[in-house]
Chains A and B, each alone.
Chain A
Amino acid sequence: EPEVTQTPSHQVTQMGQEVILRCVPISNHLYFYWYRQILGQKVEFLVSFYNNEISEKSEIFDDQFSVERPDGSNFTLKIRSTKLEDSAMYFCASSQGTPNQPQHFGDGTRLSIL
């Protein structure tokens, strides 16, 4: 069964550094998402992406965040200048694009900011 894959599985970064989290969505999917989960808290939406542009973003997704689909397969989340509070599990998800289809999630990247 096709899967969403995320790399790396764990990223440790110094505060203030830039980090790029990578995702390969399922190949025939059209909608892509990033969510995050701070330890012990709910999974929260960050941003959705469709047709090569952001379709929706949350208030968490401020100017330090950006997303890109640099080629036909990868979907990346960049955090420009990391803060301690960015430490979380980041999940990528994709869906076919019709409302009755499920979102499929990757295994996540655990981001630890020191």
Chain B
Amino acid sequence: KQEVTQIPAALSVPEGENLVLNCSFTDSAIYNLQWFRQDPGKGLTSLLLIQSSQREQTSGRLNASLDKSSGRSTLYIAASQPGDSATYLCAANSGNTPLVFGKGTRLSVIA
């Protein structure tokens, strides 16, 4: 049974810093891994999807990497801004099956 863990649970950084959020999964037989952003009381916004055959995927200041063999993914945020403050969730997809989510990392970027 797939389990997804995210560390740290919370992170506070000053504006402008680069930061890394970590995600680990127990079953490496995944098709892809999706990173989401969730603002308080709101829905899930898909940020990046990284395929199992890819090692990384980039969108603007965000870069996600995937290492299936070690069961890890990272989300790198460059030059963080206060508007990046949110909870970041990763979810593992093993095909046309339910996503398995981590509990998220709550990010605060301080101006």
Contact = CB atoms under 8 A, between A and B. Distances in A.
Interface of A: 31, 33, 35, 41-45, 48, 50, 55-56, 58, 89, 91, 93, 95, 97-100, 102-108, 110
A99 B93 contact: yes
A104 B93 CA distance: 13
Given A42-B103, A56-B98, A99-B93, A106 B43 contact: yes
B43 A105 contact: yes
Contacts of A99: 31-32, 93, 95-96
Given A103-B99, A110-B41, 9 more contacts: A42-B103, A45-B99, A48-B98, A55-B96, A56-B98, A58-B98, A99-B93, A103-B34, A105-B43
A100 B93 CA distance: 9
Question: DSSP class of A's interface residues: helix, strand, loop or mixed?
Answer: strand
Interface of B: 31-32, 34, 36, 41-46, 49, 51, 89, 91, 93, 95-104
A109 B44 CA distance: 12
A55 B97 CA distance: 9
Contacts of B99: 33, 35, 43, 45, 93, 103
Nearest to A40: B103
